[in-house]
């Protein structure tokens, strides 16, 4: 049997677009002589559809799309992902399903059993748990079809009570097919391939694994679809961060691809001294770079936007954001605005000017000191002679936010936020000022990762001026200000943040690793008392296993560690 894996970038709720792409994939598979073509999880409607699933019209359009796809299934088997109805009045109204279509008919519908309800996933909110497991017979083969999380219920502490493959093995399948929408983070591809291999070794069957690709708001799907033979060897590995198409003949014995077989990462057992090297390792940074480009491009393309704007301070965060946005959207579509105040150093303006000169993007300089002085004059009767404080610092930041939003509104730009994860974690930012934006590019990268990303961008030529990489970070909102005045140095801060946020280590565990107790308590208090700021923040492109946003849900008024 010849099986085609079709790795495509869908658009949530864009049924005409998704259906046309699926039909094109079927036609390609037919022309290539495939007997069976496999698409990814919920490809008909796009993943994750979230509360769209509560609308009857949305579900009807899914079924209408399936009818259109059925018309192209003459002589070829097609596996697509779409919601399916639950005829039983008990339980949820829908299943997350894989539909097997052939010769204009629905031959089988497979219901997902393991419904992830953690981090960014909330499938139990919408779907009923599948409890009926049947192989699909097709062209003399018995296919064990599962959906994404169905193959992850392994290990010593499984998350779910039922494992679909255990039930399917009783029916003597010949091969496994898994359709997925498995998101990217810089740990996940290795873990994902390890899970596929563990299934292969456990059940002694080959697996054909088809994953989604593309960005859906903050979530990146990296593709990387794979085929493993029954001996645990990867024979096919499809592109990451790109659409792809491959035909695999099940009767041919393939040589293993020239790539090591992954094992589960040991990130959860890193010592503090290993964290920064791990976070900034080249392979991580390369994939983060590509993921962020995909995230920016798809956000703009799928939302119908074309142009971006950002504040260019001459610092590392805005420099990296500008470089990435220029690569993603084209230099001419990204406008940078430097807004110096009386506290801005001349080299900051010079660095911002040099960067835009190198990138050849639209660039403006708007001094804010006259506006700042007018604010102070207006507020003087209320402020009286109280000393300069955070209030005056934040006024400058909010002036900049207002200017950027005014230009964005006037000319149709989307404001890109430049805050990093270290700042967002600790509340080191101004609401309605430098925290403004329509999309956060660096909000899931710690400061040390931002520096590593800058060096990666500069690997072939100096795009970001070296002076930006070497100077001490500063918000420049008061005389001689440095970030280190308010925060621990970043290489130490990022270790604590990573252990707390990504690895969910409590203060006692972190202190036991040799980190100063007072510092740990201070940092964790900053994180937990800043939740109200993050709750008002824009979407953050997710590249880690625990990003701020929908995947990390914390009480704003919680007392824990605050």
Q: Is 112 a catalytic residue?
A: yes
The answer to whether 41 is a known catalytic residue is yes
String of DSSP letters for 133-157: ---EEETTEEEEEEEGGGG---SSS
Residue in 2, 41, 163, 502 annotated catalytic? 41
Catalytic residue among 2, 21, 70, 112: 112
Say if residues 449 and 279 touch (Cβ distance below 8 Å): yes
Reduced to 3 states, what is the DSSP secondary structure of residue 237?
strand
Q: How far apart are the first and last CA of the chain?
A: 60
What are the structure tokens assigned to 159, written together? 């998350």
- Of residues 148, 163, 210, 234, which has the active-site annotation? 148
Distances (CA, A) of 92 to 12, 57, 254, 484, 562: 21, 17, 43, 52, 39
Q: Which residues pair with 413 in a beta bridge?
A: 307
Q: Is 436 helix (H, G, I), strand (E, B) or coil?
A: coil
Structure tokens at 232: 């645990």
Handedness of CA 273, 274, 275, 281 (dihedral sign): positive
Across 100-139, b (16+ Cβ under 10 Å) vs e yields bbbeeeeebbbbbbbbbeebbbbbeebbbbbeebebbebe
Residue 71: count of CB within 10 angstroms of its CB: 11
The H or E element containing residue 525 is: helix 517-529
DSSP states along 86-137 = --SSSS-SEEEEEEEEETTEEEEEEEP-----STT--GGGTBPPP-----EE
User: Structure tokens of 209?
Assistant: 């694994």
β-pairing verdict for 307-311 and 413-417: parallel
- Mind telling me the catalytic residues? 41, 112, 148
């Amino acid at each position: 049997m010849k099986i085609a894996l079709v790795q495509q970038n869908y658009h949530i709720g864009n049924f005409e677009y998704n259906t046309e792409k699926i039909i094109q994939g079927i036609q390609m598979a037919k022309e290539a002589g495939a007997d069976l073509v496999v698409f990814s999880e919920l490809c008909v409607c796009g993943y994750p559809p979230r509360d769209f699933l509560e609308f009857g019209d949305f579900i009807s359009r899914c079924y209408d799309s399936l009818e259109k796809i059925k018309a192209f299934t003459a002589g070829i088997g097609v596996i697509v992902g779409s919601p399916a109805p639950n005829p039983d009045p008990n339980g949820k109204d829908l299943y997350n399903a894989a539909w097997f279509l052939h010769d204009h008919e629905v031959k089988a519908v497979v219901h997902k059993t393991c419904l992830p309800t953690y981090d960014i996933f909330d499938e139990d909110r919408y779907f009923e748990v599948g409890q009926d497991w049947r192989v699909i017979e097709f062209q003399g083969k018995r296919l064990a079809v599962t959906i994404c999380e169905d193959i992850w219920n392994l290990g010593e502490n499984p998350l779910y009570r039922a494992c679909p493959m255990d039930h399917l093995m009783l029916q003597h399948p010949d091969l496994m097919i898994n359709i997925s929408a498995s998101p990217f983070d810089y740990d996940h591809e290795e873990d994902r391939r390890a899970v596929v291999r563990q299934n292969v070794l456990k059940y002694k069957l080959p697996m054909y694994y088809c994953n989604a690709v593309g960005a859906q708001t903050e979530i990146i799907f990296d593709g990387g679809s794979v085929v493993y033979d029954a001996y645990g060897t990867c024979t096919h590995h499809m592109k990451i961060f790109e659409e792809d198409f491959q035909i695999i003949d099940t009767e041919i014995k393939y040589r293993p691809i020239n790539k090591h077989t992954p094992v589960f990462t040991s990130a959860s057992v890193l010592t503090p001294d290993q964290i920064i090297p791990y976070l900034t390792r080249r392979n991580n940074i390369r994939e983060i770079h590509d993921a962020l480009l995909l995230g920016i491009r798809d956000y703009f393309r799928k939302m119908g936007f074309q142009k971006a704007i950002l504040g260019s301070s001459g610092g590392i965060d805005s420099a990296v954001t500008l470089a990435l946005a220029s690569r993603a959207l084209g230099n001419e579509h990204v406008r940078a605005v430097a807004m110096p105040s009386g506290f801005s150093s001349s080299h900051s303006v010079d660095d911002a000017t040099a960067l835009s000169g190198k990138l050849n993007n639209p660039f403006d300089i708007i001094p804010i000191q006259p506006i700042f002085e007018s604010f102070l004059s207006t507020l003087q009767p209320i402020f009286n002679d109280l000393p300069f404080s955070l209030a005056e610092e934040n006024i400058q930041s909010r002036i900049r936010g207002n200017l950027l939003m005014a230009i964005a509104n006037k000319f149709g730009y989307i404001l890109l936020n430049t805050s990093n994860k270290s700042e967002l974690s600790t509340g080191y930012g101004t609401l309605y000022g430098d925290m403004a934006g329509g999309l956060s590019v660096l909000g899931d990268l710690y400061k040390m990762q931002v520096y590593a990303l800058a060096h990666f961008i500069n690997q072939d030529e100096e795009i970001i001026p070296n002076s930006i990489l070497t100077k001490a970070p500063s918000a420049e909102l008061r005389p001689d200000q440095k970030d280190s005045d308010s925060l621990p140095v970043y290489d130490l801060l990022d270790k604590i943040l990573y252990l707390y946020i990504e690895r969910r280590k409590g203060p006692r565990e972190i202190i036991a690793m040799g980190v100063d107790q007072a510092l740990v308590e201070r940092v964790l208090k900053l994180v937990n008392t800043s939740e109200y700021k993050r709750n008002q923040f824009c979407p953050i492109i997710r590249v880690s296993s625990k990003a701020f946003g929908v995947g990390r849900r914390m009480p704003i008024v919680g007392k824990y560690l605050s």
